[in-house]
Chains A and B, each alone.
Chain A
Amino acid sequence: MELLKIDHLSKRYRSFELKDVSFSLEAGYIMGFIGPNGAGKTTTLKCMLGLTAKDGGSVELFGTDFFASERDAKQKIGVSLGGVDFYSKTKIKTITSVVRRFYENWDEELYQSYIKRFDIDESKRPAELSDGMRIKYSLALSMSHHATLLILDEPTSGLDPVARDDLLTLFQELIEPGEVSILFSTHITSDLEKCADFITYIENGKIVASRDKDGFLESYRIVKGTAAQLPGIQSRLISTKENAFGFSGMIKTTDLTEHDTVTVEKPTLDDIMIYHARKESRHA
């Protein structure tokens, strides 16, 4: 079952445009939403949630138009857009007591288990927490009402490696029964290599690819060669880095031929982002 379906979502600003963003997410998977800073990740999430008025396109959650049943849909999703930086001088206990009333399925026991797992002291105020702890509190707030879709913006940034690993394990636990899905934007791509099933890659307001992670990684190759080998392949490369010893570049796997004599390697998500970014800056 499709939990989320975004179709031709668009938003125009004076200096930036979100163009025809489309992707979907089935139940039981983790989708990483990646792209360089300013690519449109947060704008997409905000348009999806109605925080920013969209100019076109549609957002379906659980098979119905999100904007036609906003309140019901929001009962079934958990949203965290970064750390808790609101009501920074109010006790966490007080903030939670306000939030919990809004959710029909709020599970106090589950919330307390997250508070314990994340080691959050409820008598503290957000201002007294580190950046990482604020993110953990935001996650505890967004995951305690049995949401079937979690929309998380940069949930792992600011967390130490142990906490990040713990969180990724928790994500895996959440999706295991096959009912919950997680869409999370991040620029820490190593997290996605550990846990994501799908990758949606956005660049300059446009979706470059939205597909299964392995297929996404397989669709690109890193090639390395000498300066003499470059002219033979350069027109097919997405972008290149040249150095004293030769060059390295990224190419679509389908553009590689048997006659290419360059060294071919599998890219990481980071490589794909970096080489795509180089292409953008070259075209700019």
Chain B
Amino acid sequence: MRNLLRKEFSLVINPYYFLFMLFGVLLLIPHWVFFIAPMYLIFIALPNIIQSAKAQKDTEFTMLLPIRKSDAVSARVLAFAILEVAQIAVIAVFAALNIALYHSPNFFIDTNVAYIGCVFVMYGVFNIVFFPMHYKTGYKLAIPLIVAITAIMLFAGAIEVMVVTVPAVTRVLDGISKTALVSQIPVLLCGIAVFALLTWISIRISIKRFSKVNL
């Protein structure tokens, strides 16, 4: 798997895509819908990487290597999961900067620890929707991408609306005080667990579907 991941990052994912993570700087915008920032990875980097892999006939290349067909799927999803975690790491830095700079709460969700947990869940939702649909063929991109983006938009929209309108949600997810961490750290930990679980399920389903694809 290490070799396959190395292949993903040396042939498939151009280092240039790591620059997209600097969209995390958008978290410095005062009073904004901060869920949009981590979506740029999905709007721009992911479709370009998959299109480029398709154009370079990456599947044909990978299948000649001494691996199982399922390994190719695991490596691709894991590589994207690594990109997502890296993006969250960059976002976490700018999230902390936002709080340090402005000291004032946001109208929508704050750039706090719970927000980071929710971004983990958002990427998990993307993975569970996008990859199993994509691996029905191993090459179709548009419909899986539209459906997965719609799913994460609905998820992020629901969180933002609830943070503003449902006091119980506001109490758990919003706030930048140190005392708020009591409710927010469990949200972050749950977010990480949900991300890991959804990504793992996504890999299992994608492998099953791709095994039936005739290359």
Contacts and interface: CB of A to CB of B under 8 A. Distances in A.
A101 B3 CA distance: 7
B68 A85 contact: no
A113 B69 CA distance: 31
Contacts of B67: 71, 74, 102
A51 B69 contact: yes
B66 A74 contact: yes
Nearest to A142: B64
Interface in B146-168: none
Contacts of B213: 53
Contacts of A81: 60, 64
Interface in A85-121: 85-90, 94-95, 97-99, 101-103
Interface stretch (B4-12, B15-23, B35-43, B197-205): B4-12
A75 B212 contact: no
Most buried by A among B58, B66, B69, B213: B66
A71 to B, nearest CB: 6
Contacts of A102: 3, 65-67
Given A71-B67, A98-B10, A102-B67, A51 B56 contact: no
B11 A90 contact: yes
B66 A103 contact: yes
Interface residues of B, number: 23
A38 B11 CA distance: 33
Contacts, number: 64
B204 to A, nearest CB: 17
Given A86-B61, A87-B61, A99-B65, A94 B214 contact: no
A52 interface: yes
A82 B7 CA distance: 22
A59 interface: no
The bracket for how many chain A residues form the interface is 20 to 34
Contact of B68 (A52, A71, A98): A71
Contacts of A99: 65
Contacts of A95: 11, 61
A132 B85 CA distance: 43
14 contacts: A13-B214, A51-B214, A70-B68, A71-B67, A75-B66, A81-B64, A85-B57, A86-B60, A87-B57, A90-B56, A95-B11, A98-B11, A99-B65, A142-B64
Interface of A: 13, 46, 49-53, 70-71, 74-75, 79-81, 85-90, 94-95, 97-99, 101-103, 141-142
Given A89-B56, A94-B10, 20 more contacts: A51-B69, A53-B212, A70-B68, A71-B67, A74-B65, A74-B66, A81-B64, A85-B57, A86-B60, A86-B61, A87-B56, A88-B56, A95-B61, A98-B7, A98-B10, A99-B65, A101-B3, A102-B66, A102-B67, A142-B64
